[in-house]
Amino acid sequence: MKVWAVLLLFAVANAKHEQYQGWKSYFVKPFNTVQLQVLGSVVEKYGIDFLSNPAVERNGLALVKPELHEDFIKSLRNHGIAYKIHAEDVKAQLDIDDELMEKRRRKSSGMKNGTIPLDNYLELEEIYDYIDYIAEQYPDLVTIISPGNSFEGRPLKYLKISTTNFEDKNKPIILIDAGFFGRDWITPSIVLYALHNLTQSDMLHDYDWILIPVANPDGYKYSFTNDRFWIKTRSTDQHLLSIVCPGVNVNRNFDFFWNTIGTSNTPCADNYAGSKPLSEKETFLLNDSLGEFISRVVLDISLHSYGSLILFPWGHDGSLSNHAFALQSVGVSIADTIYANSLPDFPRYIVGNSALVTGIETSGTGIDYAHMLGIPLTFNLRLPGIEEGTEGFQLDPEYIEQLAKETWAGIVVGARRAAELFGNTRN
Ligand SMILES: *[C@@H]1O[C@H](CO)[C@@H](O)[C@H](O)[C@H]1NC(C)=O
Ligand SMILES: *[C@@H]1O[C@H](CO)[C@@H](O)[C@H](O)[C@H]1NC(C)=O
Ligand SMILES: *[C@@H]1O[C@H](CO)[C@@H](O)[C@H](O)[C@H]1NC(C)=O
């Protein structure tokens, strides 16, 4: 009896990640902008999924399905692009990630009366429990707003944090979001650390804060239960094919050069832009609910994983906005601060225009849209990820706390600089 139970458990555990049987992952390193552009077109042509975008002389990590191995490698060879296998068997590496998390879960005693849970990647419920706890503990500072529900009916949530209940219109607002993409599991942890720190530090005197811990809860949940690499929402009402291929890419769904480049019209693609701008409840409700604050926001940081990049507009054509100098300068301040607080093994952040740094043009992104609405400083901050020689697809959970602290240190400096530069012009 017991043996059967064990065997059954084993079978269930191994049935996970079945859809990635036969997939391989590759480190790919372009040495100049020409090779970077070539990689961009390979992505376009084959729909290769870069878990981490390559930059010049910086490894990207490509996930390649079995039927594309040959063509993908051939394209790289034809253009002399350096590559190296990361995982011969993507499913096996995903199982390693699971084991690491499971091991830590057994060691951890769970959330102890609201201790900040930074020792592991967090389930959606754990994230919501923590913010509820903090909002209860600090009712004068922290308010949870739910502008409505996700497509699958989960509450969308963001936090307003202020010593003056958002009533002092002279205070600049700092906006931080996480969890646009289901699979970006490390990003909500950074927001939870920010929340924790804001209740303890002096960063509330001069600024109001809006934190979005998980912008796309359905996608986040689905990446835990069904598909580790899931990016999109889970909507099924966008296209005839949405029933078989649900979901829209949140970061292609905003109303700025919507669906013009770096997007797809088929819902089966990861970069499907939706049936119209703000078609998703996750984007529409956010846009609707945050509208009244936009004119006071001086800094908007959208947290993603991964690649150690700080990217800014415009993404659709690589041109520079009127605020390009401030974007570059504040981006470098954030990067330098993170570096000064970082571990020696983590790569240094690259700062720049998103299309120029990654070689991939993208339309309808959150940061381009927010910048178009008038927020002077908008960044897509891609946290550090795995390096050559490491196993699995996510950073060992033991580094989460370190990343949260160093990233927060960078955000604090970014907030101060943003307020110096734009605090008087934005209210
Ligand atoms: C949690 O708080 C309760 C009530 O304040 C207390 O009785 C309990 O000992 C605490 N538990 C832990 C693990 O700190
Ligand atoms: C999105 O927000 C902007 C700025 O508040 C507003 O002008 C626009 O009408 C909103 N879009 C939709 C579709 O509600
Ligand atoms: C809050 O963040 C600041 C800036 O990184 C740091 O110096 C401080 O120690 C943090 N405080 C707490 C209570 O975590």
The tens-digit pLDDT sequence of the chain (427 residues) is 455 555 555 555 557 899 999 999 999 999 999 999 999 988 888 889 999 999 999 999 999 999 999 999 999 999 999 999 999 999 999 999 999 999 988 887 666 667 788 999 999 999 999 999 999 999 999 999 999 999 999 999 999 999 999 999 999 999 999 999 999 999 999 999 999 999 998 899 999 999 999 999 999 999 999 999 999 999 999 999 999 999 999 999 999 999 999 999 999 999 999 999 999 999 999 999 999 999 999 999 999 999 999 999 999 999 999 999 999 999 999 999 999 999 888 899 999 999 999 999 999 999 999 999 999 999 999 999 888 877 889 999 999 999 999 999 999 999 999 999 998 776 5
- Residue to substitute in 112, 113, 133 for testing ligand 1 pocket (most ligand atoms within 8 angstroms of CB): 113
Whether 341 and 413 have beta carbons less than 8 Å apart is answered as no
Alpha-helical segments (H) within 124-256: 124-137, 187-198, 217-225
Pairing relationship of beta strands 208-212 and 60-64 according to DSSP bridges:
unpaired
Q: What are phi and psi of 76, to 5 degrees?
A: -65, -45
- Angle, helices 2-15 vs 90-107, to 10°: value is 120
Ligand 3 centroid, distance to 197 Cα (angstroms): 6
Shortest-distance atom of ligand 2 to CA 291: 5
Pairing relationship of beta strands 309-312 and 350-353 according to DSSP bridges:
parallel
> Which listed CATH number (3.30.70.340, 3.40.718.10, 3.40.430.10, 3.40.50.720) goes with 22-88?
3.30.70.340
Whether 403 and 186 have beta carbons less than 8 Å apart is answered as yes
Q: What angle do CA 77, 79, 81 make, to 5 degrees?
A: 70
Task: Name the closest ligand to CA 413.
Answer: 3
Measured CA to CA, the distance from residue 269 to residue 263 in angstroms comes to 9
Strands (DSSP E) contained in 207-353 are 208-212, 297-305, 309-312, 350-353
Atom 9 of ligand 1, nearest CA residue: 113
161 alpha carbon, distance to own chain's centre: 22
- Pocket lined around ligand 2, Cβ cut-off 6 Å: 278, 287-288, 291, 294, 373
For the Cβ of 200 lying below 6 angstroms from any atom of ligand 3, the answer is yes
Atom 8 of ligand 1, nearest CA residue: 113
- Assign domain 108-235+248-422 to its CATH architecture: 3-Layer(aba) Sandwich (3.40)
Q: What angle do CA 358, 32, 40 make, to 5 degrees?
A: 40
For the Cβ of 409 lying below 6 angstroms from any atom of ligand 3, the answer is yes
For the Cβ of 113 lying below 6 angstroms from any atom of ligand 1, the answer is yes
Ligand 3 centroid, distance to 340 Cα (angstroms): 15
Torsion sign across C-alpha atoms 98, 102, 108, 113:
positive
Write down the pTM of the prediction: 0.94
Q: What are phi and psi of 146, to 5 degrees?
A: -120, 105
- Do you know the residue count of the chain? 427
Report residue 54 as tokens: 């390559």
For the Cβ of 109 lying below 6 angstroms from any atom of ligand 1, the answer is no
Ramachandran region, residue 389 (left: φ > 0; alpha: ψ -120 to 50; beta: rest): left
- For 12, 105, 244, 274, the CA distances from 247, given in Å and listed in that order, are 26, 30, 10, 8
For the Cβ of 112 lying below 6 angstroms from any atom of ligand 1, the answer is yes
Element containing residue 91 per DSSP (H, E): helix 90-107
Measured CA to CA, the distance from residue 374 to residue 376 in angstroms comes to 6
Measured CA to CA, the distance from residue 152 to residue 99 in angstroms comes to 29
Looking at residue 388, what is its pLDDT?
A: 82
- For 1, 20, 21, 424, the CA distances from 7, given in Å and listed in that order, are 10, 22, 21, 65
Report residue 15 as tokens: 């049935």
Ligand 3 centroid, distance to 7 Cα (angstroms): 47
Report residue 373 as tokens: 């609405």
Task: Name the closest ligand to CA 291.
Answer: 2
- For 1, 110, 133, 217, 253, the CA distances from 145, given in Å and listed in that order, are 50, 26, 14, 15, 22
Measured CA to CA, the distance from residue 294 to residue 375 in angstroms comes to 7
CB-count exposure of residue 23 (10 Å: 0-12, 13-18, 19+): buried
Report residue 327 as tokens: 């974007």
| Domain extent listing, the chain | 22-88, 108-235+248-422
Strands (DSSP E) contained in 258-332 are 297-305, 309-312
Report residue 285 as tokens: 């409700």
Shortest-distance atom of ligand 1 to CA 113: 1
Looking at residue 362, what is its pLDDT?
A: 96
Looking at residue 1, what is its pLDDT?
A: 45
Shortest-distance atom of ligand 1 to CA 112: 13
Q: What angle do CA 71, 88, 29 make, to 5 degrees?
A: 60
Q: Which amino acid is at 299?
A: L
Measured CA to CA, the distance from residue 94 to residue 23 in angstroms comes to 11
Whether 50 and 40 have beta carbons less than 8 Å apart is answered as no
Pairing relationship of beta strands 309-312 and 377-383 according to DSSP bridges:
antiparallel
Tracing tokens 């391989």 back to the chain, one arrives at 24
- Residue to substitute in 201, 336, 341, 342 for testing ligand 3 pocket (most ligand atoms within 8 angstroms of CB): 201
Measured CA to CA, the distance from residue 404 to residue 163 in angstroms comes to 23
